[in-house]
Amino acid sequence: MGKLITSSLGLSAVGIASFFFGRSTPAPVETAQNENKTTFGGVGKPAGGELITPSPVQPDGFYKYGFPGPVHDLAKHAEFVTCYDRAKRNPYWVLEHITKDSIKRSDGVDRKKSIFKEDETVPVKFRARLRDFFRSGYDRGHNAPAADAKFTQQAMDETFLLTNMSPQVGDGFNRDYWAHFEDFARRLTTKYDGVRIMTGPLYLPKLCEDGKYRVQYEVIGLPPNVAVPTHFFKLIVGERNGDANIAVGAFVLPNVPIDNTQPLTAFQVPVEALERSAGLELLHKVPYYNKKDLCKETKCEVLVEDRVESKSVAQNWFDQFD
């Protein structure tokens, strides 16, 4: 597995191909003053103040037909915030904040009451559909896990929106190692006053037989439009009240069965490598001297024995949805 991680991530030798996405910018407001500035043949000044050659064309005139995007559907829920990728029908990322009190189960809150739902705030043509996952061979894998949202039934129900889901391998990953990894993050609330978690999918290059790197991933659905991530990441930040220092751990796991004996530290990566591969700015407002290595402050490990459900019971529960 260690060899698999090194070759699939490509962190050491060649670097990960960056997957960048920009923030949507609104179309310019049409005003008389604005029209004077963009009139055909007009003269403009750049930031430096020097005159530039007048342009004979107006490419931004396309905005009169409507701004094309990209549009990132940002939604705040009780337990998490999600930013949705309309092209891949996956989240870009999901943000959580958990504490030892927030993960306690409130009376009446039960996962069996929750059902998977399409997110109706996303236009239908860009929406992941329930039917897309049917007989796909993949689980509807939570980015923000339901077990983190036990303080109200509504909070738990919201974690079942498809904007919080990504196709995940079931046996050996979503129902096993990934679930133990989520449990590790929850256990950190006994050491830190607050734990902030960013989770999301990645589509990383793979070394092919011809010696070239390519990004290849499956697409599911009818029509095929939901991307199956090659990897998933978690950025975990431990906070203590009144302490400017934070404990930081970045992890990237392949979307494949992982043996439970694999050490979690085998999947730890530099935050900078995660930034390059995801195209995200991460923790850039925090001085480097305030960032401490999470796995040097605490033992980063998954505990399989904490799973009290038998494999057959868990399997039956998931099978009713897939």
Give me the active site residues, please: 142
Neighbours of 322 (CB within 10 A): 13
Q: What span, in angstroms and rounded, lies between the C-alpha atoms of 220 and 113? A: 27
Angstrom distance (rounded) from CA 219 to CA 302: 30
Question: Which of 108, 199, 203, 213 minimizes the C-alpha distance to 154?
Answer: 108
- Quote helix, strand, coil % in the chain, to nearest 5: 30, 20, 50
Can you tell me the distance from the alpha carbon of 243 to that of 197, in angstroms, rounded to the nearest whole number? 18
Among candidates 89, 71, 72, 69, which has minimal Cα distance to 81? 72
> How far is residue 203's CA from residue 16's CA, in Å, rounded to a whole number?
10
- Selection from 22, 71, 112 nearest residue 317 by Cα: 112
